[in-house]
């Protein structure tokens, strides 16, 4: 297999990875707080597959990570008593199985013990890292713009809303959750506003993602045709050189 086929194959592998990311974006159009992703690519110089008359080095294409757009999605009014969204930069903190997790999905509810939890059953934490307990017999919960929760005149707690100086420190862990993979502690989000009775939509733009999907599909087909042409040229060259004189 010569250099053209190696380069084409590396391009196809990257395109397949990019298509997976686009498909995931489209699948999460209706996921609250989901952030759109895109593939980062890089040039990967390597020794050529064949040295006769070939450039040195050959430049292959390779994936170089996934970029995540943390831009805010639209805020949609739901009227849910425990639905909340963040207007601005910040994340709610919840208790994962092996440490704190962060999310923009504010579809909260209570478990049988009155603990405020996510749809997945994880405890929602206050600004001090403690659990929030709501007494169902004390009436409706009021949520203030600073995240404070109260029932009548009694304070219940305050939602922890945190931000990161470098959002690249956040790694996806599934279920619309992130974990902090850096050594830096998150900071309290002083500029964010909590909006009760509203949820944040994903920031995926469907038309843009479908357009990207079409472009990736066409690029894959064009690369396949290029590889077929290169393989056919190589085959014909071998046949002519091997023909008896």
Q: How confident is the model at residue 42 (pLDDT cuts 50, 70, 90)?
A: confident
Check pLDDT > 90 for residue 235.
no
Neighbours of 120 (CB within 10 A): 15
| Spatial separation of the C-alpha atoms in residues 35 and 30, rounded to whole Å | 11
Q: Is 21 in contact with 38 (CB distance < 8 Å)?
A: yes
Q: How confident is the model at residue 55 (pLDDT cuts 50, 70, 90)?
A: low
Q: Which of 56, 39, 31, 37 lies closest to 120 in space, CA to CA? A: 31
Check pLDDT > 80 for residue 154.
yes
Q: What tokens does 143 get? A: 């949520």
pLDDT tens-digit series, residues 6-22 = 778 888 888 999 999 99
Residues contacting residue 117 through CB under 8 Å, at least 6 positions apart: 108, 109, 110, 111, 123, 124
Task: Tell me how many helices (H) and strands (E) the chain has.
Answer: 2, 17
Check pLDDT > 90 for residue 237.
no
Q: Is 131 in contact with 152 (CB distance < 8 Å)?
A: no
User: What kind and span of H or E run contains 58?
Assistant: strand 58-68
Query: What is the pLDDT at residue 38?
Result: 93
**Domain locations along the chain:** 3-71+204-242, 75-200
pLDDT tens-digit series, residues 76-135 = 999 999 999 999 999 999 999 889 999 999 999 999 999 999 999 999 999 999 999 999
Torsion angles phi and psi, residue 141, rounded to 5:
-95, 130
Check pLDDT > 60 for residue 52.
no
| Spatial separation of the C-alpha atoms in residues 110 and 124, rounded to whole Å | 10
Q: Give me the residue label for tokens 């040295």.
A: 51
pLDDT tens-digit series, residues 168-206 = 889 999 899 999 998 888 999 989 999 999 999 999 999
């Amino acid at each position: 297999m010569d250099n053209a086929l190696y380069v084409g194959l590396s391009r196809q592998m990257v395109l397949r990875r990019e298509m997976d990311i686009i498909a995931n974006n489209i699948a999460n159009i209706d996921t609250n707080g989901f952030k759109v992703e895109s593939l980062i690519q890089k040039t990967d110089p390597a020794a050529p597959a064949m040295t006769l008359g070939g450039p040195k080095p050959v430049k292959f294409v390779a994936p170089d990570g996934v970029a995540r757009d943390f831009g805010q999605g639209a805020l949609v009014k739901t009227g849910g008593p425990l639905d909340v969204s963040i207007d601005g930069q910040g994340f709610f903190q919840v208790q994962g199985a092996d440490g704190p997790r962060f999310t923009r999905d504010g579809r909260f509810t209570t478990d049988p013990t009155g603990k405020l939890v996510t749809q997945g059953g994880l405890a929602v934490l206050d600004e001090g890292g403690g659990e929030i307990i709501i007494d169902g017999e004390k009436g409706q919960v009021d949520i203030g713009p600073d995240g404070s929760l109260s029932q009548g005149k009694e304070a219940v707690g305050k939602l922890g809303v945190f931000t990161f100086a470098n959002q690249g420190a956040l790694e996806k862990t599934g279920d619309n959750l992130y974990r902090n993979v850096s050594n830096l502690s998150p900071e309290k989000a002083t500029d964010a506003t909590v909006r009760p009775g509203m949820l944040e939509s994903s920031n995926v733009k469907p038309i843009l993602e479908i357009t990207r999907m079409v472009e990736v599909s066409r690029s894959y087909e064009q690369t396949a045709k290029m590889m077929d042409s290169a393989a056919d040229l190589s085959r014909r060259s071998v046949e002519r050189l091997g023909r008896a004189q």
